[in-house]
Amino acid sequence: MHKSAALTALSLTGSTVAEAYQVLLRATVVLNLVPFVYTFLALMTLDTARRFERGAGAVGAMVTVGGILAAFLPGEDVTSVAVFELKMATGVGVPMAIGLWLFRRARAAARN
């Protein structure tokens, strides 16, 4: 089964259509914000970055992390908060784990 089909099936299991939509939407928001956290953290660690730029990186990272945390807050369409949070954790954690595995595999292959 394709990964996106599996994620869609997971979000629909035991949910209303509105709740499944919220899980898919919010998981997508989180997955799209993660690279911005990396970018802002990288800005803070640049040797050539000035104090203002490091501060902007810190503020950007904090705001982005706040957005990620806000995406985990259930909306009014959610009937079970625990199930929603479990689906969000799975919907975000599985793609990130796959990405980390692919990154490590590519890095190991580049060393050889």
Number of domains in the chain: 1
Q: What is the pLDDT of residues 92-107, one digit of tens each?
A: 998 899 999 999 999 9
Q: What is the pLDDT of residues 59-68, one digit of tens each?
A: 999 999 999 9
Inter-CA distances, 58 with 30, 35, 62, 72, Å: 19, 14, 6, 22
Calculate what percentage of the chain has a pLDDT beyond 90: 64
Name the residue among 73, 83, 70, 109 with its Cα closest to residue 20.
Answer: 83
Give CA–CA dist 111/7, Å, rounded. 33
Q: Which domain holds residue 88?
A: 3-111
What is the predicted pLDDT for the residue at 62? 98
Task: Decide: helix, strand or coil at residue 76.
Answer: coil
Mean pLDDT of 22-41: 94
String of DSSP letters for 22-59: HHHHHHHHHHHHHHHHHHHHHHHH-TT--HHHHHHHHH
Instruction: Write the burial class of residue 26 (CB in 10 Å: 0-12 exposed, 13-18 middle, 19+ buried).
Output: buried
Mean pLDDT of 85-98: 90
pTM for the model stands at 0.82
